[in-house]
Amino acid sequence: MKIAILGTGAVGTTIGSKLIELGHEVMLGSRSNTNEKATEFVNKHDKNAYKGTFEEAATFGEIIFNCVKGEFSIAALKSAGSGINNKIIIDVSNPIDTSKGAPLSLIPELCNTNSLGEEIQRNFPNIKVVKTFNTMWSTLMMIPSMLQDGDHTNFICGNDEEAKNEVKNLLYEIGWKEKSIIDLGDITAARGTESLILLWLKIWGATIGTFSIKVVN
């Protein structure tokens, strides 16, 4: 599959490297097709790694990962132009407000009665937004077995059932177990999963090492 990743930070490059390992072709998208981190990503891999602008990457990808910081996600997707039309957008980002420093909070317009996932869907009604992966460290996203043999929870939500099923199949390919994926329903559930980032940051600050969330019933 051809997969686009918008964003060249640790999350985007970690996801991209795993997908290439699985045999997919990956293009990293950024504001400029001369982005240094994207160039490093391409040079790191022997094949199936490409770089381009947001628009070039979106046009390339059959599925698109949004790994751009929450505050810039809408602008990045707008820069992608018609390349995102009718495609699945896997939204990994969180709407963290860094403007006031610590303790961090969520962007006021994108929490409680709204979320980044919903805002993306609202701005781009002809795409299929699926929210997942936003409650964990990037390496754990791609190597779930590093904790409890993968027996921890990954949440997913979105309005389009077919799109969610396609994303679930990709999650299984990465190594996620079916029992570890909890489908929370439509995209409004992103209000809950995005708010977990505030708890995640506090746990991260209080512990050493990799951790995850597990729902026990």
Beta bridge pairs of residue 175: none
DSSP for 35-75 reads -HHHHHHHHHSSSSEEEEEHHHHHHH-SEEEE-S-GGGHHH
Q: Which of 131, 129, 106, 136 is nearest to 14 (CA)?
A: 136
User: What is the pLDDT, as a whole number, of residue 207?
Assistant: 86
Q: What is the pLDDT along the chain (217 residues), one digit of tens a residue?
A: 999 999 999 999 999 999 999 999 999 999 998 999 999 999 999 999 999 999 999 999 999 999 999 999 999 999 999 999 999 999 999 999 988 888 899 999 999 999 999 999 999 999 999 999 999 999 999 999 999 999 999 999 999 999 999 999 999 999 999 999 999 999 999 999 999 999 999 999 998 789 999 999 9
User: What is the pLDDT, as a whole number, of residue 33?
Assistant: 87
User: What is the pLDDT, as a whole number, of residue 209?
Assistant: 83
